[in-house]
Structure 1
Amino acid sequence: MVKKFYAHSLEGQPPDKWQPLEDHLKNVAEMARDFAKPFGGEQWAYLAGLWHDLGKYADTFQAKLYVENGFESHIETRPGKVVHSEAGGHLATAKGWNGADRILSWLIMGHHAGLTDYFTDEIGAKALEPKMRNSIHSEQILKNVPEIIANQAMPNQAIPPGADPAFFIRMLFSCVVDADFLDTETFMNKAKAGLRNREYPPMQFLLESFDEFMMRLCSKAKPSPVNKTRAEILKQCRHAAESKPDVFSLTVPTGGGKTLSSLAFALRHAVKYEKNRIIYVIPYTSIIEQTANVFRQIPGFEDVVIEHHSNVAETDEDKETARNRLAAENWDAPLIVTTSVQFFESLYACKTSRCRKLHNIVNSVVIFDEAQCLPPEYLRPSVFAIRELFRHYHVTPVLCTATQPVLTQTKEFDFNFREGFESVTEIVKSPGQLAERLKRVKTQLYRNDLTPVDLPEIAESIQAEEEAVLCIVNRKEDTRSLARLLPTEKTFHLSTNMCAEHRSNTLEKIKNRLINYTSPFFVISTSLVEAGVDIDFPVVYRALAGLDSIAQAAGRCNREGRLPTFGRTIIFVPKDQPRDSR
């Protein structure tokens, strides 16, 4: 009688209802292979998937399954702690596949604990090298492995020329761990798997729905210079979407409608070049919530937009919300809206939960909204990751902002950026002329100089405007202090000290108040309202900051161009202004 080996048991069910180990290995191998095929890693992913759970051929693991489910195991070995993630790596090492054994060991030995350093210098016994060397526990296990599983050829696929090996291995790792998660879920929780596996509408349908929505939106827009310019930007984005994949920039002045125009580009480009999904990478959660809500207003988009950030509530148990939470685990949805932190940290992560979604970035359009907010101290690794995705993983990046940073290769006496892009293709023609046409604000210094002023004086000046006024300061403590100096019933306070829901509710109240206000009111905020938040004030005060911050603040002033004259943005220097802002 042939001994049977199982991968997973079901509580309260006899062994003939359990998942055979060979079935699980083959399922994971085939799924991982399909995930890795678009970037040329299918042989590696298949073999790593086939061998990832060879440790479950251990008598101790099988005994553990029987005992935990109340069955007699008929195995003399006493069950205890079983490490089943190492035998596959040891098999690769035993075959003498120098180099290949290390890659496979990273993928297999890390599929539960995560990727780890090779040498022991910093992490000791947790490193890969001692695990690969210590194969004594796997020798008996590997005798139980069927020949059809064990007798495999070494992958003959090289890492793509010029590709970063660590990046390639992390992508393969994503394919294996996501395949393992999905096959296990399919067997263990069919209801959950069924919820996940419902089909999303194709990209062509989303494009057609979007075009219909934009046609209705444009037909209702009142004729104005701002709306005319927005229509031209939209037209240029649609035209540029037909261009072959490249690193693109979309340089549109604040208020130019870049959120919907960038989506027009992304959808059309995705259909033309058969991209799998669109990913929006945004620096602030306040912008994410606003952007996701804009997309959900498009008919047909209600259930395809997945928000993945720290502020997404997980208390709503309705089925669509549950499905969205599942899609957020591996980004298997047509439209993802996430943070810069989530995106870039995942690309450099080691944990399985953070890495499993990476293979779904492959062959996508990625919009980096407010690209000027990429932190300078992480600019090199961020640009390196974007460049790697473009060169080797069929990603079309779009750097979207009103104040485009220099991200091309640059060599100046004070700035050497060799890691930058070789070139960036601008989507709109003559961004400078666009900025001139959309000029609706004049910026001036408070009292025409940079003499530091007390906050009480600024509070008096704000009230003297007899208008709706937005005031942006650099520190959360200044928002509190300045708000206390203004009439409570007329003042809104915004800062990142507020929880996400409170902040969103306050922003909604401010937007509603702006629609038909008849008396002055005041909003005191940190820089969280600067980039991407769709509010429109006739007067904006801004504490002295960098030019990009001042430009973004001015973008909240006369945003729709409704004033008969220019809006006013007033720059002032608080007396206790942080030194690096002076």
Structure 2
Amino acid sequence: MLGMNDKQENLALAHVRQSDGGVWHKHLLDKHLRDVAKLAADFAAGFDSSDWASIAGLWHDLGKYSTEFQRYIQTVSGYDRENAHIEGGAPGRVDHSTAGAIYAVRQFDKHGRILAYLIAGHHAGLPDWDSADTGRKALSFRLEKSQLLDRIPTQAIPQNILMQSKPPSKVCGGENGFHLWVRMLFSCLVDADFLDTEFFMDKGKNQARQQFPALAEMLPIFNRAMEAKVAQLIVEQSAETPVNRIRADVLAQCRKQAALSPGMFSLTVPTGGGKTLSSLAFALEHAKHHSKDHAMRRIIYAIPYTSIIEQTADVFRGIFGRDDIVEHHSNFDVDRETTRSRLAAENWDAPLIVTTNVQLFESLFAARTSRCRKLHNLVNSVIVLDEAQLLPPEFLQPILDTLNLLTTHYGVTIVLSTATQPALNTVKDNFGRTTRKGLNNVREIIADVDGLYADLERVEVQIPADFNQPTDWESLAAELCHHDTVLAIVNTRKDCRELWELMPKGTLHLSALLCGAHRSAIIADIKERLKCGEAVRVISTQLVEAGVDLDFPVVYRALAGLDSIAQAAGRCNREGALKGKGKVVVFVPPKPAPRGLLRFGEDATKDVWHKRPEKPLARELFTRYFNRFLSMPNLDEHDIAGSLKCGSGLEVQFRTAAEKFRLIDDRETQAVFVRYNAESNKLIQQLNQIGPKRDLMRKLQRHSVTIYRHDLNRLLQNGDIKAIENYPDLYAQVGDTLYHKKTGLLLAESPILNPSTLAF
């Protein structure tokens, strides 16, 4: 029997580090296991699973008691060889994670597999039970390596670490919730392991994490900011405008309804009604009301578009200051980052996180430790899903299932915030079979949504006289020229370029062929011109439709999904400043939308508009529209549910599901670093000189454009771009002619456009 007497001293090592003075410091393995167990148990207390997390912590590094590992850590640390380092995959690296997994199964039989998933995966990520794709890395195969446990010397491990009773707590969510519960436990273990190791290796970094205010401290700051905003409006004599009165009422309703019990909410407010600040007010007040029974400690604000996330984060920074908001997304400007915000982005241990749907949902289905590490910090949180109508249809069913699990078993409050609330209810066919399992018990925050829509009606919508009669670009361009200030939104980048080329000099262009830094500069220019009352014409793709606070008197929109048209209308007469109503013109473009989601949306709009309703954006039309739209695609196109189904022996394919759940499939696309300005040139030069350092790569994100592989290959053949030396997966523009100062990257556009390249 493995195990030493509790009173015996065990000097087995978990980690070692060398101080600046050359002194070696030892992290004893016994202490590491017990400290990780305690921390993991604390994390899992929020979903009543401390017993499982504690044992996972105690057993996760049992393999480090082996003679092979102890010899390895002394050799590579420098005890036996100078100038070596334990990190970095040194030759002869010892498998230390499988032994604890094998021990768990020996102790608890089938239920030990729960712990085996966690322990075996705490470095490499949650494994599949048995999969042709992962082969010898599958858990079932690894559990056959009994020698990895048997090689640990007799009496090596303290008895009070080894001898544990099977945990009595039950799976959160039962069989259907097993995969999320295991992933939550995994998050507790890996974050505890990271933090305890970090505390030993770098106490300064660990202490930098402890500097954020609590949500209770942020609410008074928010309230003072709202009072100052009202006072400023009074000074400007605009506090009593109809739009501002409506926004104040929406804010008041959100504050009042925050006292309701945690769960699922919808916040249905027309564009321009103040959803962003009102939803934040709800979240802060909700956390205050339930601070004792739920101990709510954070707010996650998830946004579908990276192109607008900075705007929301900047609004929040204007209230709370630069240092107390954590942005976590691929397009983040590293110059806005602090040490503590960078560390908090690793595990979301901060009060207010602004992130993307990609980060949130891919993490909820992830297998990698870096992605899963944050999940336990979602427990007892408020998650605001901004522009909820943009949840990806091909992944909608697994997303809805997981949102239900979060609210039912993990104390999470979900707020679906949008002007066009999607139909996310349960749907059954004519035989009573469930074709879509919807969200449970969604409560609307706004008392009279129909009245609110009537009060905020600021535009007249003109729909096409004939849905089968397209408007050619030349005719549309001529019509647009009758307006000094106008926004035209089209469905594809190719359409955007073609229409823009027909417009007069000075017309602005916005599409995903512009890098993030370029888009931000153009949007800022548009806002400034509109504020000053200057004439401005803009041709754009749908990237301006959600969250970009533009206010045009006239907006043209190519026929598309009804939600997209409503979002376009939200860029028209946004502040209600016109004497009459704004004008929104929907036209049939020369070519129909590309096949896929864009075409589904266009067809569903035609369906609900076929009787030519008097009010084309009447709220009751949206339920019909979304039911029609969501009946078209497969809502679990990649069979995520099949991979995550728990077998009788607790078999789950975690890694396969994670590989399938990609909101953006980067296997078909590639980011290219472009030469937009002097800063772009400087960053690309640095990349060629020093390679992909972390901070440099994060800066370069804002100077990249994502293109298809066939376009990449053509540009490579033409010598327009090249791979960075020694880094064949990184590509940069070579000369100065490929990137246009008005329209961005010059491509021979494909007729098929993947909507995901615009949506995230």
Same structural fold, with TM-score higher than 0.5 when normalized by the shorter chain: yes
Other-structure match for 2:657: none
Other-structure match for 1:407: 424
Other-structure match for 1:541: 556
Other-structure match for 1:554: 569
Which string of whole-angstrom CA distances, capped at 9 and with x for unpartnered residues, describes residues 273-315 of structure 1? 12110011111112211111111000x343221111111133x
Q: Does 1:285 align with 2:306?
A: yes
Other-structure match for 1:140: 151
TM-score scaled by structure 2?
Answer: 0.72
Please tell me whether the aligned partners of residues 490 and 542 of structure 2 are also in contact (alpha carbons under 8 angstroms): yes
1:131 aligned residue (142, 162, 167) = 142
Task: Report SS of the residue matched to 1:464.
Answer: coil
Which string of whole-angstrom CA distances, capped at 9 and with x for unpartnered residues, describes residues 375-405 of structure 1? 1111111111111100000000011111101
Task: Report SS of the residue matched to 1:399.
Answer: strand
For structure 2, list consecutive stretches of 5 or more residues without a partner in the other structure. 1-7, 82-90, 604-760
Task: Report SS of the residue matched to 1:345.
Answer: helix
Other-structure match for 2:77: 69
Please tell me whether the aligned partners of residues 452 and 575 of structure 1 are also in contact (alpha carbons under 8 angstroms): yes
Please tell me whether the aligned partners of residues 471 and 587 of structure 2 are also in contact (alpha carbons under 8 angstroms): yes
State the distance in 1 between where 2:29 and 2:402 align.
Answer: 37
Other-structure match for 1:564: 579
Percent identical among aligned pairs is: 49
1:509/1:356 CA distance change after superposition, 3 Å: same
**In the alignment, residue 147 of structure 2 is paired with which amino acid?**
I
1:416/1:160 CA distance change after superposition, 3 Å: closer
Q: Does 1:180 align with 2:193?
A: yes
Task: Report SS of the residue matched to 1:152.
Answer: coil
TM-score scaled by structure 1?
Answer: 0.94
Other-structure match for 2:315: 294
- Residue 142 of structure 1 deviates from its aligned partner by 5.8
**In the alignment, residue 341 of structure 1 is paired with which amino acid?**
V
Spell out structure 1 runs of 4+ moving beyond 3 A.
Answer: 11-16, 160-163, 412-418, 445-450
1:61/1:470 CA distance change after superposition, 3 Å: same
State the distance in 2 between where 1:15 and 1:59 align.
Answer: 24
- Residue 14 of structure 1 deviates from its aligned partner by 7.5
1:189 aligned residue (194, 199, 202) = 202
Other-structure match for 1:5: 12
Other-structure match for 2:531: 515
Other-structure match for 1:84: 96
Of 55-64 and 361-370, the range deviating more from structure 2:
55-64
1:22/1:475 CA distance change after superposition, 3 Å: same
1:557/1:525 CA distance change after superposition, 3 Å: same
**In the alignment, residue 115 of structure 1 is paired with which amino acid?**
L
Q: Does 1:480 align with 2:488?
A: no
Other-structure match for 1:76: none
1:455 aligned residue (458, 464, 473) = 473
- Residue 177 of structure 1 deviates from its aligned partner by 0.3
State the distance in 1 between where 2:227 and 2:469 align.
Answer: 50
Q: Does 1:308 align with 2:325?
A: no
State the distance in 2 between where 1:265 and 1:142 align.
Answer: 57
Please tell me whether the aligned partners of residues 554 and 569 of structure 1 are also in contact (alpha carbons under 8 angstroms): yes
Which string of whole-angstrom CA distances, capped at 9 and with x for unpartnered residues, describes residues 440-496 of structure 1? 10011367876211112111111112x3111100000111111122223x2111112
Q: Does 1:247 align with 2:247?
A: no
Equivalences for 1:71-470 in 2 at 5 Å? 71-72=79-80, 80-95=92-107, 97-141=108-152, 143=154, 144-160=156-172, 162=174, 164-198=177-211, 200-221=212-233, 222=238, 223-274=240-291, 275-298=296-319, 300-314=320-334, 316=335, 321-413=338-430, 416-445=434-463, 451-465=469-483, 467-470=484-487
State the distance in 2 between where 1:308 and 1:509 align.
Answer: 26
- Residue 139 of structure 1 deviates from its aligned partner by 0.8
Which string of whole-angstrom CA distances, capped at 9 and with x for unpartnered residues, describes residues 125-158 of structure 1? 1111121122112112163212221122221212
- Residue 72 of structure 1 deviates from its aligned partner by 4.4
Please tell me whether the aligned partners of residues 98 and 148 of structure 2 are also in contact (alpha carbons under 8 angstroms): no
Please tell me whether the aligned partners of residues 246 and 390 of structure 1 are also in contact (alpha carbons under 8 angstroms): yes
Please tell me whether the aligned partners of residues 91 and 142 of structure 1 are also in contact (alpha carbons under 8 angstroms): no
Other-structure match for 1:58: 66
State the distance in 2 between where 1:393 and 1:449 align.
Answer: 47
Please tell me whether the aligned partners of residues 206 and 301 of structure 1 are also in contact (alpha carbons under 8 angstroms): no
Equivalences for 1:31-46 in 2 at 5 Å? 31-46=39-54
- What's the C-alpha RMSD, in Å, of the aligned pairs? 2.0
State the distance in 1 between where 2:153 and 2:473 align.
Answer: 74
State the distance in 1 between where 2:172 and 2:117 align.
Answer: 18
Of 432-441 and 403-412, the range deviating more from structure 2:
403-412
**In the alignment, residue 454 of structure 2 is paired with which amino acid?**
E
1:121/1:65 CA distance change after superposition, 3 Å: closer
Please tell me whether the aligned partners of residues 557 and 567 of structure 1 are also in contact (alpha carbons under 8 angstroms): yes
- Residue 244 of structure 1 deviates from its aligned partner by 1.1
**In the alignment, residue 574 of structure 2 is paired with which amino acid?**
R
State the distance in 2 between where 1:358 and 1:328 align.
Answer: 12
- Residue 418 of structure 1 deviates from its aligned partner by 4.2
Please tell me whether the aligned partners of residues 37 and 58 of structure 2 are also in contact (alpha carbons under 8 angstroms): yes
State the distance in 2 between where 1:444 and 1:278 align.
Answer: 40
- Residue 190 of structure 1 deviates from its aligned partner by 2.0
Please tell me whether the aligned partners of residues 287 and 297 of structure 2 are also in contact (alpha carbons under 8 angstroms): yes
State the distance in 1 between where 2:371 and 2:75 align.
Answer: 33
Please tell me whether the aligned partners of residues 97 and 120 of structure 2 are also in contact (alpha carbons under 8 angstroms): yes
Please tell me whether the aligned partners of residues 54 and 142 of structure 1 are also in contact (alpha carbons under 8 angstroms): no
Task: Report SS of the residue matched to 2:547.
Answer: coil
State the distance in 1 between where 2:80 and 2:449 align.
Answer: 75
